[in-house]
RNA sequence: GGCGCCGUAGCCAAGUGGCUAAGGCAGCGGAUUGCAAAUCCGCCAUCGUGGGUCCGACUCCCACCGGCGCCUCCA
């Protein structure tokens, strides 16, 4: 049974789609006014895995991520750079999409833009006015929070607490808790015509409008960073539920935020006021303030998208993650164990791990282990993996069983001496292959190891490859003649320049660190 | 101040009212290797502190200490 932690109830609930087997997921995306940073990527990676796992579990999932391409920050940034807002938004959206691609996040079904949803936003606002939940005030339209008694049910805040301070509130508002659905345009600002005059959407209305347009009045999962719970998500609930008289989303999932490690945090002090108006990634307020928000694309120069994905998924999604390069390097080291096993599989079975046809669904992945000790272990570990994932997408726990699985398979290959062709039998190879296939199946649900890693140095017919071939041959000859001094000199020198040699029954492999 | 989260080994990180408290990185010992590398085996925690509940708590409750998030639009 799949269970999901629901922010609404603050408990884990059994996952039952509204319209089984269809599942609709809406995730708050970025405000595209600057290049995206690591914090923007946490949600997409997590929900990419959520969708993959739900799909694997038999559901038909539609995942929507919005792009906020009009907002105060965008206007400010565009004025400062002297670039039209639409052009700026277009460039930053391209940056965002490229980053997702690098992470292998490719299961998002659509990216609705706010500026392409203006009609729907206006209609939504009109409906709220007609139903008495919103009012116009001098070209602005505000949602009247006091008209929606359930306000605060998501973030568990009382309206009273919010109305206490009237000091800085806009004079047009009836109450400090009211929030803007539509803002009248100031001179020079981008605007759209509306029944209330030229203006633009407020901060929260787009998500209500887009989700209704693409997923319906009620859908299954609404996701976003923890920082968005209030006020953004609370306001979405108010807008949508006031308008439709039914729950907006059945499950609300909030992911923890990316933080700088304490080391870095010290440098930035406590200046952690997040960037406002940024739907998906006020997250890393700390990082962005203390480190100047290194663009994600720069991070990709240091680490592969796969490494970052693995890093993000190695922690349960509701918890904060401490970011540090050191941590990323450790993750790389751990992942190498997987890559080495995949290469080992290729040597032994002459088949690419990445081309293996992974069972697409949970049911297909079941198999009869019989009396085969390896497969029994594999089946057990597979169950543990699935149990972890069924428990509110515990990717961290699931990854732990993956390492166990790798060890079990390596041990089998060791014990059965599969590196030596003479010891291979069809039965052993079959067990080995089925175990690897299971690894393929499970890693696929996390979106991991779908492509071979970028080789640091291609070993093909380039110069380095040819030279290495020569050196390895010379060393092999030396070793044959027991001339270990020469053999070790070659290997030690290579080690110094970062090349590692691995001797094994079939020959010598090399890799660059 | 209000609402909420977290504190598990050197670092990261799962998890549980009683069974060996996963796994990763680092470290140590061993097998293997001409020596290495890789791989495998073994070792490495009593779960922030103090109380309470319970036959029994790291796991529930309270307090405290420490770390952290959010508290709208305008700014």
pLDDT tens-digit map of A493-511: 998 888 888 888 878 888 8
- Of the candidates A412, A411, A405, A402, the one whose C-alpha atom is nearest the C-alpha of residue A448 is A402
pTM for the model? 0.91
Q: pLDDT tier at A168 (50, 70, 90 boundaries)?
A: very low
A214 vs A288: which has the higher pLDDT: A214
Tens-digit pLDDT profile for residues A221-278: 999 998 898 889 999 999 999 999 999 999 999 999 887 653 333 222 222 323 223 3
A438 is written with which tokens? 């299971």
Contact A215, A18 (CB under 8 A): no
Burial code of A55-65, b = ≥16 C-beta within 10 A, e = fewer?
Answer: bbbebebbbbb
pLDDT for residue A63: 96
Residues A58 and A323: their CA atoms lie apart, in Å, by 34
Q: In terms of pLDDT, which residue wins out, A59 or A166?
A: A59
Please give the pLDDT value at position A161: 53
Question: Band of the pLDDT at A459, cuts 50, 70, 90?
Answer: low
Q: What is the dihedral of CA A114, A119, A124, A126, to 10 degrees?
A: 130
What is the percent of chain A where pLDDT is above 90?
65
pLDDT value at residue A56: 97
Cα A47 → chain centroid: 6
Q: Measured in angstroms, what separates residue A104's CA from nucleotide B40's C1'?
A: 33
Q: What is the C-alpha to C-alpha distance for residues A12 and A20, in angstroms, rounded to an integer?
A: 19
Read off the tokens for A168: 């800085």
Q: Which two tokens stand for residue A500?
A: 């590692």
A8-20: average pLDDT = 91
pLDDT of residue A264: 34
Mean pLDDT of A285-304: 68
**A317 token code pair:** 């999604």
Provide the β-strand partners of residue A140.
A137
Percent of chain A predicted with pLDDT > 70: 89
Which runs of E-coded beta strand occur in A169-295? 179-184, 199-201, 219-225, 249-255, 258-260
Q: Which has the minimum average pLDDT: A280-289, A302-311, A429-438?
A: A280-289
Closest CA to A339 of A508, A331, A446, A99: A331
pLDDT at residue A479 greater than cutoff 50: yes
Task: Give the C-alpha distances (Å, rounded to integers) separating A233 from A207, A222, A248, A300, A399.
Answer: 9, 9, 10, 31, 31
Please, what is the end-to-end C-alpha distance for chain A in angstroms?
43
Tell me which residue of A169, A170, A195 sits closest to A182, measured CA to CA.
A195
Task: Answer whether residue A164 shows pLDDT above 50.
Answer: no
In whole angstroms, B4 C1' to A156 CA is 9
Instruction: Summarize the confidence of residues A164-187 as an average pLDDT.
Output: 74
pLDDT number for residue A261: 53
pLDDT tens, A192-210? 999 999 999 998 999 999 9
Query: Measuring CA to CA, which residue among A393, A396, A386, A381 is closest to residue A436?
Result: A381
Among all strands, which nt has the closest C1' to A231 (CA)?
B72
Sign for the pseudo-dihedral over CA of A352, A357, A360, A363:
negative
Instruction: Give me the pLDDT at residue A220, please.
Output: 95
Indicate if the pLDDT at residue A166 is higher than 60. no
Q: Count the Cβ atoms, other than its own, within 10 Å of residue A92.
A: 21
Provide the token pair at A8. 């609404």
pLDDT higher than threshold 70 for residue A413: yes
- In the DSSP assignment, the letter for residue A188 is T
Which one has a higher pLDDT value, A27 or A187? A27
Q: Are A242 and A212 in contact (CB under 8 A)?
A: no
Closest nt to residue A202, judged CA to C1': B73
Q: What is the pLDDT of residue A172?
A: 76
Identify the helix (H) or strand (E) that includes residue A237: helix A234-244
Lowest mean pLDDT across A65-79, A412-426, A456-470: A456-470
Residue-wise pLDDT for A380-402, tens only, equals 999 999 999 999 999 999 999 99
Q: In this predicted structure, which of A60-74, A87-101, A154-168, A449-463 has the lowest mean pLDDT?
A: A154-168
Window 89-128 of chain A: CB closer than 7 A to strand B: none
- Residue A298, pLDDT > 60, answer yes
What 3-state DSSP class applies to A70? coil
A169: pLDDT strictly greater than 80? no
| Protein-nucleic contacts, chain A 183-242 to strand B, CB < 7 Å | 183, 202-203, 226-227, 229-231
Comparing CA positions, the residue from A19, A13, A4, A15 lying closest to residue A60 is A19
Average pLDDT, chain A: 87
Distances in whole angstroms, Cα of residue A167 to Cα of each of A139, A163, A235:
22, 10, 21
Residues 12-71 of A with CB under 7 A from strand B: none
Q: Which nucleotides of B are covered by protein (CB under 7 A)?
A: 1-6, 11-16, 22-26, 33-41, 68-75
Per-residue model confidence (pLDDT) at position A167: 42
**Mean pLDDT on A481-497:** 90
With CA atoms as reference, report the closest residue to A223 among A17, A25, A19, A61.
A25
Q: Which of residues 468-487 of A touch strand B (CB under 7 A)?
A: 479, 484, 487
Instruction: Please choose, from the candidates A367, A389, A506, the residue with its C-alpha nearest in 3D space to the C-alpha of residue A436.
Output: A367
For residue A179, the cross-strand partners are A143
Choose the weakest-confidence range: A213-217, A300-304, A365-369.
A365-369
Alpha helices in A314-394 (DSSP H): 325-349, 362-365, 373-390
Going from the C-alpha of A62 to that of each of A50, A65, A215, A241, the distances in angstroms are 11, 10, 8, 21
User: What is the length of chain A?
Assistant: 513
Write down the pLDDT at residue A457. 60
The tokens 């009012």 sit on which residue? Answer: A135
Residue A170: pLDDT band with limits 50, 70, 90? low
Segment A302-327 mean pLDDT: 92
Tokens of A84: 């039209």
Confidence band, pLDDT 50/70/90 cuts, at residue A458 = low
Residue A277 and residue A420: Cα distance in Å, rounded? 61
- For chain A, the maximum distance between any two Cα atoms, rounded to a whole number of angstroms, is 93
Cβ of A146 < 7 Å from strand B?
no
Whole-angstrom distance, CA of residue A250 vs CA of residue A458: 49
Residue keyed to tokens 């990634």: A281
Q: What is the per-residue pLDDT for A79?
A: 87
Burial A216-253 (b: 16+ CB within 10 A, else e): eebbbbbbbbbbbbebbbbbbbbbbbbbbeeebbbbbb
Does nucleic acid strand B have an atom less than 7 angstroms from the CB of A324? Answer: no
């Amino acid at each position: 049974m799949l269970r999901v932690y629901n922010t609404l109830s603050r408990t884990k609930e059994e996952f039952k789609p509204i319209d089984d087997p269809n599942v609709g997921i809406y995730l708050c995306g970025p405000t595209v006014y600057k290049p995206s940073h690591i914090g923007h990527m946490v949600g997409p990676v997590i929900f990419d895995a959520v969708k993959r796992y739900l799909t694997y579990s038999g559901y038909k999932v539609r995942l929507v991520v919005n792009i906020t391409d009009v907002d105060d920050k965008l206007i400010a940034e565009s004025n400062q750079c002297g670039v039209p807002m639409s052009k700026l938004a277009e460039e930053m959206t391209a940056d965002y999409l490229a980053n997702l691609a690098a992470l292998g996040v490719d299961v998002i079904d659509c990216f609705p833009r706010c500026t392409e949803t203006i009609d729907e936003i206006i209609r939504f606002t009109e409906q709220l006015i007609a139903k008495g939940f919103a009012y116009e005030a001098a070209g602005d339209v505000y949602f009247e929070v006091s008209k929606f008694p359930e306000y605060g049910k998501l973030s568990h805040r009382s309206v009273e607490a919010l109305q206490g301070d009237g000091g800085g509130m806009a004079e047009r508002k009836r109450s400090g808790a009211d929030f803007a659905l539509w803002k009248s345009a100031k001179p020079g600002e981008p605007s759209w015509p509306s029944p209330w005059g030229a203006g633009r959407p407020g901060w929260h209305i787009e998500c209500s409008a887009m989700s209704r347009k693409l997923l319906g009045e009620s859908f299954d999962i609404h996701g976003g960073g923890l920082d968005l719970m209030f006020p953004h998500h609370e306001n979405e609930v108010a807008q949508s539920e006031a308008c439709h008289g039914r729950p907006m989303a059945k499950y609300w999932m909030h992911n923890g935020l990316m933080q700088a490690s304490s080391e870095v945090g010290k440098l930035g002090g406590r200046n952690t006021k997040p960037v406002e108006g940024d739907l998906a990634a006020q997250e890393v307020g700390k990082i962005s303030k203390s480190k100047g928000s290194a663009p994600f694309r720069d991070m990709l120069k240091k680490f592969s998208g796969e490494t970052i994905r693995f890093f993000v998924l190695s922690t349960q999604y509701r918890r904060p993650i401490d970011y540090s390069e050191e941590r990323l390097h450790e993750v790389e080291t751990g992942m190498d164990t997987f890559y080495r096993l995949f290469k080992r599989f290729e040597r032994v079975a002459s088949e690419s791990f990445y081309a293996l046809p992974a069972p697409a669904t949970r049911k297909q992945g079941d198999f009869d282990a019989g009396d085969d000790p390896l497969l029994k272990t594999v089946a057990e570990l597979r169950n543990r993996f699935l149990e972890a994932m069924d428990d509110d997408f515990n990717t961290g726990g699931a990854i732990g069983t993956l390492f166990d699985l790798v060890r079990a398979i390596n041990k089998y290959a060791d014990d059965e001496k599969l590196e030596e062709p003479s010891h291979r039998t069809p039965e052993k190879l079959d067990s080995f292959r089925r175990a690897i296939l299971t690894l393929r199946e499970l890693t696929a649900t996390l979106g991991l190891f779908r492509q071979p890693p970028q080789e640091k140095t291609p070993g093909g017919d380039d110069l380095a490859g040819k030279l290495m071939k020569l050196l390895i041959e010379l060393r092999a000859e030396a070793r044959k003649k027991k001339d270990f001094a020469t053999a070790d000199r070659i290997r030690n020198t290579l080690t110094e320049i970062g090349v590692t040699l691995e001797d094994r029954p079939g020959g010598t492999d090399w890799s660059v660190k």
